[in-house]
Each structure stands twice: as C-alpha cells, then as structure tokens.
Amino acid sequence: MAGTRMVAVWCPDWPVVAWGVPPTEPVAVLVANRVVATSAPARADGVAVGQRRREAQGRCPELALLDRDEGREARLFEPVVAALDAITPRIEITGPGLVGFPARGPSRFFGGDRPMADAVAECVAPVMPRIGGSRAVSRVAVADGVFTARLAARSRPRYDGGGDRRYEDGEDKGAGSGDCRPGLGRREPVIIEPGESARFLAPLSIANLDMPELTEVLVRLGIDTLGRLAALSTADVIGRFGRHGQLAHRLARGEDDHPPDLRQPAADLAVTWTFEPPAERIEQCAFVIKTLADELLNALGVRGLSCTRVAIEAETETGERHLRLWRHQGSLSSAAVADRARWQLDGWLNQAEHARPRSGIARLTIVPDEVVAATGRQLGLWGGVGHRADEVTRVVARLQAMLGADAVCVPEYRGGLTASEQVRPVPAAAVDLTEPRLAARPDWVTQPWPGRIPPPSPIKVHPDPVPVEVTDDRTRPVGVSGRGELTAAPSRLRIDSGPVRAVTAWAGPWPAEQRWWDPLTRRRRARLQVVTDDGSAHLLMVEYGQWFVEATYD
C-alpha cells in the first residue's frame, strides 16, 4: 500500500544555521561528544555526522566546535513554520529544520505537485535566516509517504548526458558542489511521481533507516541498499528481525511506517491547563508542560497506546491561537512531548514584534493526534515502569521552572587531557535524562589514551588553577625537561600562601602537547600526582615553568 502523498521542507545544516555561522567556515555541532551536524567546508575536509570530537578535529584542525542548542533552533525555525500556514493548516513538525504536510489539498488548489512545490519554496525563502549577506537555503520534495519525502528533500539530484535525473545520498561536500542544473540560482523541488517511491529508494543506503543496530547486521549480511531489503520476503524479514525488521521493510518499499489512521482520538485523552494569571515567559510554563506531558502519557499507557503525532495548542487571554503538529518516527516519550511544547511556546513568545502574541498564554492543550498500539515496556526489578527516571525528570522540571531552563545542568563526558576538560556541565533540557547511555562512560575513559591521567579521577576540579611551589630537598624549584622528565624529585609543596608540606609520594610526570601545528593555540603542559604528609592528594600542572593545583583527590 502506497503511503500518503506528503510534502517535506528541509533546511540543510539547521543546527549550524541556527548559530549564525557563515557558510564558508568549517563548523561542527556536537551532542555528547559526537558530531550531529556540519557545515559544507567541514564535510569537504572529511568531517561527518557520528564522528567523535577528536576524530573530527583530526580531519579538520581549523574546525570550530559548537554545542547543540535545540531551543535556539526551534525559536529560529518558528517563522519558517508560520510562513507555511499560508499553504495549509495541517503542518507536521518533525524537529527544528524539518517540516511536512499532506499534499492532497494544496496540490489540488495550486494545480499539481510542481506548482505547489514552487509555491512552498517561494513562501519559505523570504523568512530563512540571513547569514553572511545571503539567506540560508531550503529544499522541498513531494513523494508518497513521510519517509520517502524526507529522503527526497535530502538527496542530491544528478543529471546524465541525456538529461535524465538521478538521485544520490547525502549532502553537499563543499560550498561549490553542484546539486542543481547549471544556471539555476536555487535548487528546484524534487517530485517523486506517485507509485515511484520504491524505485527512488532502491539505490539509497540502508543507513537512511536510522536504525544503527539493525542496519549493522544487514550490512554484514550483504544488504547495503534499501532496494535489496525491499526485495526480501516480508515473512522472512519479520521472522528474523521481528517488529523492527517489519518497520524497516515497509519503509524500504516506500510505504508509511504504519497505515494512516485519520480517526480523531477520544476527547478525554486531551489534557489542558488554564494559567491564572496568564503566563508571559517560557519559564512560567516549564513545570506545567512537564505535568501535562506526564498526565497524557499515563493516560495513553493505561489504554495500551503510544503517541506518534501530538497536537499542541496554546491560546492567549485575547483569543489568539497557536497550533502545531509534531511527528516522531517512533513513539513520543513524556520528555519528548515536553520538549516540543517548550520549543513551540518559546518560538511563539520570542518572535518578531508583529508576530508574537499580544497577551500572555491563558490555556495550553496537548492532544495525541495520532496513536498506535504500544509495543510494551520493560518493568523495573521491584515493579513499576521507570519510576525512578520519572521521579528524576519531575524534579528537574520543577527546578527548571524555578531557576530557568539553562540553570539546571547534568555532567557530560567530553574528550580532553585535563580534568576540567573531560567532564562539563550541560543544561538538562539538552539531553534525555531517561537514556541509559548518558550514565555510561565512553570508550576513551576506559581505554589507553596518551597523555591522559590514570584513574581514579579527582573529586574536586578547581575552576581557576591555584598557584603552587614545588621544590626538592634542597629547596630548589622542580621543573620538567624537554624530554618530559623531572629535573629533581619533588620533596616539598606549598599551595598559594599556605604552609609548606612534605611530599610523601608522587607519580608522573605525564607530558602533553596540544595543537602543536598552530603556534597561536599551541599548549605544552605536564601533570604530576602528589601526596603530602597531611594525607592530601593533588593533581599538579606545570606550564611555562609555573606549577598549579589543577584538581584535588579525596
């Protein structure tokens, strides 16, 4: 069964665009120490999505690294979504930078898919952010099914000598790479004719399914394209890979992830909150949003349902309404619903003066617009379903409501040689607190890494290194030679203006030279572990002949 005819509008490299970085600079946006978005010059140097921070810097030493800010992305994307209201009221937002809507009604109004796609492109172009003297680009595609439309928008059209069009995976490799016909100022929309989705998908990589564990097994079996997966028997795929295999097989054949269900959910599934007095700042809505999301997901769980598309409607005390549909490839969790509601309200309240509401938000409603049967959840050892994780997220949501969304932080592992670089606090709103991998240490923490201090890690990392004097038994200063060796054994230690302590044990030094290829940012340091006669243990650092206490052990 062919999927519903859909339009997809994709804004390439939106996490980079949201930061306002000129398109000529190599930039990578990171989440949990991995690349999630890059600019075209960075891709030209070999930086790719999924790489670790160190690998990306090794490919492009001039690479600028930025942390992802989904709240900022959503605020900047709201004008793009608002512009599409002139085309259709049924807009589905997958995430900042990607939006879609059913094509049937607009296509009839504009006289076909091609005129409609041109109208969408002309509608979106004027509201795209202006960066470096020109506006960011958007790409429009029309195809059967949400999955096919997304890949069509991301594909690169190529033309052979006879003028036939072919499509390839991926994004532009550089600022000058051609993905449109010579002479055209912008990329023309991609139209996949009805019934041609399977043919379009056939040569594309199996990695487009965004199911890493499944695709890894399929590639080892020699199934590296969507066409090869689609050619397999449905019964064989389900028998070997179960529900995930069934979903992947449907998508590879150009079908929707599940048959469309146009029935409206029962009215009692909608959850509503009335603000008294009306809320005028997103901080006032944070706790309410999380409460409504928990109430909605609990009601769905009792009925054995999961939500794949949610409608979020806000109304002001003067009667202004703001409605958005948010779609998710899988099922929406409570945290995911809360994030989308916060992005939507934040984008609406922070629009330009002429577009923002004239009064505060008086009512907020969340409706599960599209539901499917739940596939089950793992119970906890002592009963309940993730009760401890839910309790943590509720506490975090309450703190965010009192202190602000960016004031509540959680630790995140990052690459680095120093104790202050290895773990950094990041806003809790930027991560999924229920994701177990966030608590696990990455490979670089447990595997050998030249220049890294051996475990255990210090308990206290000083924000500003404290000066310290390190001398030998003749009160001569101790240093580190160019060969990475101590000039003498450390015997005494004096931290700042404190008392002199005898060194009872020491280990090291561990020399490290960072960015040796750049004379402006090059750093050459060495670290030393010491224990004093009062039982204290410290991690010392020497740079340019001066010793500092970098961290303290417990």
38-69 per-position pLDDT tens digit: 998 999 999 988 888 888 888 888 898 898 88
First vs last Cα of the chain: how many Å apart? 64
- 133 or 92: which leads in pLDDT: 92
| pLDDT for position 26 | 92
- The string of pLDDT tens digits covering residues 523-552 is 788 888 888 888 888 888 888 888 888 888
| pLDDT for position 382 | 43
Confidence of residue 163 (pLDDT cuts 50, 70, 90): very low
d(CA 516, CA 181): 43
Beta strands (DSSP E) in 341-422 are 361-373, 409-413
> For the chain, which residues make up each domain, given as ranges?
1-12+72-88+97-193, 19-68, 267-376, 412-446, 460-553
Specify whether the CB–CB gap between 300 and 377 falls below 8 A: no
Specify whether the CB–CB gap between 140 and 147 falls below 8 A: no
- 464 or 266: which leads in pLDDT: 464
Specify whether the CB–CB gap between 269 and 367 falls below 8 A: yes
| pLDDT for position 167 | 55
Sign of CA dihedral 142, 144, 147, 152: negative
Question: Average pLDDT for residues 252-279, to the nearest whole number?
Answer: 72
Question: Average pLDDT for residues 465-492, to the nearest whole number?
Answer: 86
Amino acid at 304: G
| pLDDT for position 347 | 83
| pLDDT for position 140 | 92
- With 0-12 / 13-18 / 19 or more C-beta atoms within 10 angstroms meaning exposed / middle / buried, residue 13 is buried
Q: Which of 42-46, 52-56, 178-182, 316-320 has the highest mean pLDDT?
A: 42-46
| β 523-532/537-543 pair status | antiparallel
Q: Which residues contact 471 (CB under 8 A, 6 or more apart)?
A: 477, 478, 490, 491, 492
The shares of helix, strand and coil residues in the chain, as percent rounded to the nearest 5, are 30, 30, 40
The token duo for 96 is 């900042």
pTM above 0.75, yes or no: no
57-61, 397-401, 446-450, 506-510, range with the lowest pLDDT: 446-450
The closest of 54, 66, 75 to 26, measured between CA atoms, is 66
Question: Average pLDDT for residues 85-98, to the nearest whole number?
Answer: 86
d(CA 335, CA 290): 7
The token duo for 137 is 């680009």
| pLDDT for position 407 | 73
HSE-CB for 202 with a 13 A CA cutoff: 8
- 178 or 155: which leads in pLDDT: 155
The token duo for 334 is 């409570």
Percentage with pLDDT > 90 across the chain? 9
Confidence of residue 119 (pLDDT cuts 50, 70, 90): very high
| pLDDT for position 499 | 85
Query: Which residues in 121-137 are b (16+ Cβ under 10 Å) and which e?
Result: bebbeebbeeeeeeebb
d(CA 39, CA 31): 16
- The string of pLDDT tens digits covering residues 373-414 is 766 544 444 444 444 555 666 677 667 666 666 677 877 766
| pLDDT for position 141 | 92
Give the residue ranges of DSSP H helices in 384-440.
Answer: 387-403, 419-422
| pLDDT for position 27 | 93
pLDDT at 184 over 60: no
432 SS3 class: coil
The closest of 297, 301, 12 to 139, measured between CA atoms, is 12
Amino acid at 296: L
Give the residue ranges of DSSP H helices in 368-502.
Answer: 387-403, 419-422, 443-446
- 301 or 430: which leads in pLDDT: 301
Specify whether the CB–CB gap between 151 and 208 falls below 8 A: yes
| pLDDT for position 385 | 44
Confidence of residue 284 (pLDDT cuts 50, 70, 90): confident
The token duo for 456 is 């255990």
Q: How many residues in total does the chain contain? A: 554
Confidence of residue 229 (pLDDT cuts 50, 70, 90): very high
Fold of 19-68: MutS, DNA mismatch repair protein, domain I (3.40.1170)
d(CA 270, CA 292): 9
What are 443's strand-pairing partners? none
| pLDDT for position 178 | 36
52 SS3 class: strand
For all residues of the chain together, what is the average pLDDT?
Answer: 79
| pLDDT for position 228 | 92
91-95, 107-111, 344-348, 370-374, range with the lowest pLDDT: 370-374
Question: Average pLDDT for residues 266-294, to the nearest whole number?
Answer: 82
Percentage with pLDDT > 70 across the chain? 78
| pLDDT for position 322 | 87
The closest of 154, 149, 178, 182 to 168, measured between CA atoms, is 154
pLDDT at 272 over 80: yes
Question: Residue 507's Cα: distance from chain center in Å?
Answer: 40
CATH number for 267-376 (one of 3.30.1490.100, 1.20.120.1810, 3.30.565.10, 2.60.120.1440): it is 3.30.1490.100
The token duo for 251 is 């998508």
The token duo for 517 is 């290829």
In order of 217, 471, 477, the CA distances from 345 in angstroms are: 41, 60, 60
Question: Average pLDDT for residues 458-477, to the nearest whole number?
Answer: 83
